Structure 1
Amino acid sequence: MEGMKQKMMVVDLMVLLMMLFALGASAWTGEIHGRVVCDVCGDSSLGPEDHVLEGAEVAVLCITKSGEVLNYQAFTDAKGIYTVAETMPETDRWDACLARPISSFHDHCTTLGGGSAGVKFSYNHPSGYSHAVRTFVYKPVNVPTYC
């Protein structure tokens, strides 16, 4: 019986040490998000005829404070929004990132608009915050006649 109590105490002590170790490790969480739209009239002005692009591909490359390069791939949802999020040790958090559109899978809107080649930015938000990237714009190959 005495040996069983000692084993339980050792197990309890190990669990306590693991919990303390986990609390001591500082985790950091970051998020990057943006939108992709189709500028139907190609007039560089978002209007009622324009719409979001679901399924558009965006690449996000980030360099961490420790010098590691991380490459993310994201696709837009039904609202045209893509999101990249990561939880990592504070010492490895993002330092600088580049977001750039890769492709639109909509046959009618596949040409990148001016100024949509990519966006470089420093990421110096505390844990739990996000960075909004400006909207990436695609234009149609053939502008509709009603424009």
Structure 2
Amino acid sequence: MLLAVLISNSEGNILIERFNGVPAEERSHWRSFLVKLGADNLKGSRNEELFVASHKSVYVVYTVIGDVYLYVVGKDEYDELALAEVIFIITASIRDVCQKPPSERLFLDKYGRICLCLDEIVWKGVLENTEKERINRLIRLKPPTNI
């Protein structure tokens, strides 16, 4: 299951968070853990360079795209390789929506469309769509042509 998709700015402010199967009392722990992990490792990293962390059966893959940090947390069948696929399609969708790696301002300007993309990619903790063309059609609220 995909436990969390979290996007923050470089100062650690949460821009988007999606939790699945994580109790409400544990969410603040995850927020602070992920933001600290990014602060320690993502400063000065290259755009879309992947980083991996794990603890017991939980995996974290995280990266920087433009001025925002993206974290994906999974367990069970969503190991680091599956999470790398999830993070790849999320970064590609964000790049498509923003037309380039986003600054924080551009990200917030395109917030609604980015949320639609995330909803089409991950649904209730499961990776749903990985095709960019299909995601683009779905966020325009047009029915897919090849079902």
- TM-score band, normalised by the shorter chain? under 0.3
Structure possessing the higher radius of gyration over alpha carbons: 1
Greater strand share, structure number:
1
Structure number with the bigger relative contact order (C-alpha 8 A, sep ≥ 6) is 1
